[in-house]
Structure 1
Amino acid sequence: MKKFLIFLLICIVGLAAVGSCFYQKFQEFNQPVKAKAQSVVYKVEPGATLRSLGTDLEKRGLLRSARVFEFWGRYLKNGHLIKAGYYNLSASMSPKEILSLIVEGRTASKTVTFPEGLTLKECAAIVEKHKIGTAAEFLHLTTTQGKKYGTIFPYNMEGYFLPDTYTLPLDCNVEFLVKTAAERFKELALPYHSAQSPLSLHDTIILASLVEREAQVASERPIIAGVYINRLNDGMKLECDATVQFALGYQKEFLLYKDLEIDSPYNTYKYAGLPVGPICNPGIESIKAACSPTPSHYYYYVRNDVKGDGSHVFGQNFREHENNIRKYQL
C-alpha cells in the first residue's frame, strides 16, 4: 500500500510538472515579443517547414522561441498548411497569430486604383509605378492577348480593362492583374448588356468610351449616349471631340478646325459611324449608359460655361444647337 501511494504521488507530481510545462508553452504561444512594434513585410519561401520558419522568425526578432512555435504547430496539426507568400508580421503579434496568418494564407496586399477614362498606355504607367511589372509587359498582354481571358474580349483589350480599385497580393504580377481585371469586367460590367441594348457588346464598349470622355455630370451619361444613338440611327457623323483628341495622340485644351481634319479612323468628324475601337477604358456608369441610353429627340449638346459645372445643354436640331452655343459658350 505504501509503495502504491508513493507511485501515485510520483504520478501526480509528474502530471503536475507536465501540465505546468504545457501551460507555460501555451502562455508563450500567446505572448508576443513586444507590446508594440512596427509591421514588416516577411516572405515565407516555398517549401518552408515549421522548424525553418520558426528559426528564421526568431532570428528576425518576431518570435521569442522557435521551439514553442514548432511545438504548437505540430500539436495543432496545421504546420503542413504553411502557405508561401508575403505577410505583414510584427513582433507585437503572438506566435499563435503569426501561425494562423500564414496557415490561412492571409498574405500582404496592396491597393491599386485605375481611374475611369484612362487608355491602356496610361494604365501601363500605373502598373509600372506600383511595381506590378513593366509597362511593356502590360501593353503586350492587353493589346495582343485579350482572347486568352475569354471569348468576349478582343485581342486588343482597350475599353475592357475595367477601371476600379484592385486589392492585389504584394507579389502580384501583370498576368494576375490582367486576369483579375478581366474577371471583374465579366462579373460587374457584362450583365448590363442584354438583348435590349441598342448595340453589340463591342460597339457598346466603344460608345461607353465616348460617353466616359465627354460626360462630366453623372446624370448626363445616358442622355449623351442617347444623343449618339440618335445620330447613328440617322446616319449622321458623331462629331465627338474626344475621338479627335485620341486620334491626335495627346490632349489639347481647345481643338482647332485643322485638328478636325486629321485622317484617322477614330476621327468622328471625318468618318461616319463609331470609331474603329474604344478611345479609353470606361467605368461602370458609362457602360450602363451605353447599354441603356435615355430615349430623346436630342442630336446635339454643348458645354454649359455659364454654370461652369461640367454640365451640358442639349438641342434637338442644329438651329437650337447654334443658339445654345451663343448663349452658353463663353
Structure 2
Amino acid sequence: MSKKKGKSSKNKGRKKRKIKSKKAPIIILLLFLIVGISSSLVSYNYYSLYQKGGIKLDKDNIGHNVNISIKTGTTSREISEALKSANIIDNSLLFYLKVKNDGVYKNFQAGDFVFNTSMDYDQIIETLQKPGQSDQLKLLVKEGQTQEDIAKILDEKGIVSYDDFMNACNTISFDYDFLKDLPKDSERESVLEGYLYPDTYYLSKNETAESIINKLLSRFNELYTDDMVKKANAMGLTTDEVVTIASIIEREVKYKPEKNIVASVVYNRLKQNIKLQMDATVLYAKKEHSDRTLISDTKIQSPYNTYYVDGLPIGPISNPSIDTIEAVLNPANTDYLYYVVKDDTTGEHFFTADYNEFLTAKDKYVKKFN
C-alpha cells in the first residue's frame, strides 16, 4: 500500500506540472490580446479626436510643393510614412487610420503626384486617386491684403464671385472663439477683416465662399495660440485690439525689423492720448491703394480714419501675419512718438520722440523723395 501511495503522489505531481505547462500559452495569448485591444483603443481614440477636431495639424511649411512618386504595390501604410517623411502630413498613423477607416485606400493609384504642405487630409486623399492630375486651385493671400482684395482675387480666378464672398463674410456666422467677442457694431464695413489669415491655400473646384472663409479662419485659429490670448489679456488688450493694431502695422511697415518699434509708437501715442494719425487707416477709409496720403484725405470722416477718431480705428484694416501679431504682443521699449520714411527702397524709418525733430526729418526726406 505504501508503494501505491508513493506512485500515486508522483503521478499527481506530474499531473500538476502538465496542467501548468498548458496554462502558459493561454496566459501569453491573453496578454497579446490585451495589448492588441489597448493599442486598438488608443488608435481609435486618436482617430476619433481627429474626426472631432480635437487634434490640430501644425503646418510650418505652408505653401511648398512636393513631388512624390508611388510605385505599384505600395501599401497605404508605406504611403502614409512617405507623406510624413516629406512633411506633407504630421502624423502617419493618424492618416493611415483615416484612409483605412474610410476605405479610400482602395482607390489610391501608382504614379507621380504633386502635393502641397497646406493640403488637408481630404485634399491629399483626393490627389492620391489622380496621378499626374491636379484639381487644386491655388489661392495666395498676401500679408496686409483686405477682405475686398481676397474677394477680387477669387472672382478673377473664377472660384467664387466677389459678391458671394463679401456677403458670406458679412452675413454667415462662423464658430470660432476669437470671433465671439467682436463688437457688434454696424459701422464695421467688413466683419471678418483681420482674421482671414494670409497664406497659400489649395482649393478644390467645388469650393463655396463659406468653405474658403472657413479655411482662412481655421488657419488663424491654429496660429493665434492660447498663450497669445493670455499675453494680450495681461497687456490689457482684447484679441480684436491686437489684430487691429497688427493690421495697421502690416500696412504701415515694409521693413520687418521695425514692426515692434512701430508697435511701441502706437502704445506710446495711445497712453498720451495723441491721435495715431496712421496713413494706412486713411487709405482704408478712402478705399484706395496709394503710396501717398493727401492732406484732404486726412479729413475723411470715417471711424477707420485715425486722423479723425481718437484711439484705435473701429476695427482691423487688413489681414496681418502672425509675425506682425507677435510684434504687437512684444513691442520695443522706446519713447518714440513719431516716425517718417527715410529710405524709400527698404522702407526704413526715422524715429523720434521730439516733434520738432520729426518735422525736420519729414521735410528732409519728403524733399529727397520728391
Same fold (TM over 0.5): yes
Question: TM-score normalised to the size of structure 2?
Answer: 0.59
In structure 2, distance between residues paired with 1:107 and 1:219: 38
Q: In 2 relative to 1, CA 328–148 (structure 1 residues): closer, same or farther, beyond 3 Å?
A: same
Q: Tell me how far apart the structure 1 counterparts of residues 192 and 72 of structure 2 sit (CA, whole Å).
A: 50
Maintained 8 Å contact 2:176/2:221: no
C-alpha distance after superposition, 1:80-137 (max 9, x if no partner): 9359x9x999899xxxxx999339xx98433211011111111001122333321212
Secondary structure in 1 aligned to 2:327? helix
Matching residue of 2:339 = 301
Q: Does 1:257 align with 2:295?
A: yes
Unpaired runs of 5+ residues, structure 1, are 1-28, 32-77, 93-97
Q: CA RMSD in A?
A: 3.3
Q: 1:148 aligns with which of 171, 174, 185?
A: 174
Shifted more, 225-234 versus 108-117: the winner is 108-117
Give the match for residue 248 of structure 1.
Answer: 286
CA contact (8 A) 1:223 1:294 kept: yes
CA distance in 1, matches of 2:103, 2:205: 20
Paired position in structure 1 for 2:206: 171
Secondary structure at the residue paired with 2:339? strand
Alignment partner of 1:148: what SS? coil
Aligned residues with identical type, % of pairs? 31
Q: CA deviation at 1:301?
A: 0.4
Gap change, CA 1:202 and 1:100, over 3 Å in 2: closer
Aligned-pair CA distance for 1:323: 2.4
User: What TM-score, normalized to structure 1?
Assistant: 0.66
Aligned match for 2:141, one of 98, 104, 114: 114
- CA spacing shift, 1:100–1:280, aligned 2, 3 Å: closer
Give the aligned partner of residue 130 of structure 1: 157
2:318 is aligned, of 273, 276, 280, to 280
2:264 equivalent to 1:222 = no
- Tell me which residue corresponds to 1:239: 277
Give 1:240 shift.
0.4
Aligned-partner Cα distance in 1 for 2:323–2:354? 27
Q: Report matched runs for 1:191-230 at 5 Å.
A: 191=226, 192-193=228-229, 194=231, 195-230=233-268
Q: In structure 1, what is the equivalent of residue 87 of structure 2?
A: none
Tell me, yes or no, if the aligned pair for 1:188 and 1:284 is still in contact at 8 Å: yes
Partner of 2:192: 157
Over 3 Å counting, the alpha-carbon distance change for 1:129 and 1:251 in structure 2 is closer
How many equivalent residue pairs? 245
Deviations 1:138-181 (A, max 9, x none): 11121232x42313214710111000011233433222211111
CA distance, structure 2, for counterparts of residue 314 and residue 259 of structure 1 = 24
Query: What are the ranges of 5 or more consecutive residues in structure 2 without an aligned counterpart?
Result: 1-70, 74-99, 114-124, 185-190
**SS of structure 1 residue aligned to 2:159:** coil
Partner-residue secondary structure (3-state), 1:149: coil
2:140 is the counterpart of 1:102: no
State the distance in 2 between where 1:91 and 1:159 align.
38
* Structure 1 pair 239–100 and aligned structure 2 pair: CA distance change class (3 A): closer
